[in-house]
Amino acid sequence: MSQNSTEPGHGSSVAAWTSVIIIIVAFGIGTLFFWLDNAAMVWASAGLAVLGPVVGWILRRAGYGVGGEHTKAH
């Protein structure tokens, strides 16, 4: 029961994975420093979380997004 589909890939690309990993690490670091009561590092990790989508956008524009020139399915 397999058939070929034109599934868009749901963001399974270098750009998407890099963005998600940066955001997850930022939230983990932020949670740790929130627990340690270090406000400056909590805000620094919030800045890192904001940087995640920016890096993903840059990588997508460089051709590492779904269907990009540096991916297998372009």
- Token representation of residue 62: 């460089």
pLDDT of 18-73, one tens digit each?
A: 999 999 999 999 999 999 999 999 999 999 999 999 999 999 999 998 888 887 76
Looking at the whole model, is its pTM more than 0.85?
Answer: no
**What range does the domain containing 21 cover?**
14-64
In a domain, 72, yes or no: no
- For residues 25 and 12, the model is more confident at 25
- Token representation of residue 40: 């400056």
In a domain, 73, yes or no: no
In a domain, 36, yes or no: yes
In a domain, 39, yes or no: yes
Q: What is the pLDDT of residue 16?
A: 92
- Token representation of residue 36: 């340690």
Tell me if 12 sits within 8 A of 66, measured CB to CB: yes
Domain count, the chain: 1
Tell me if 49 sits within 8 A of 23, measured CB to CB: yes
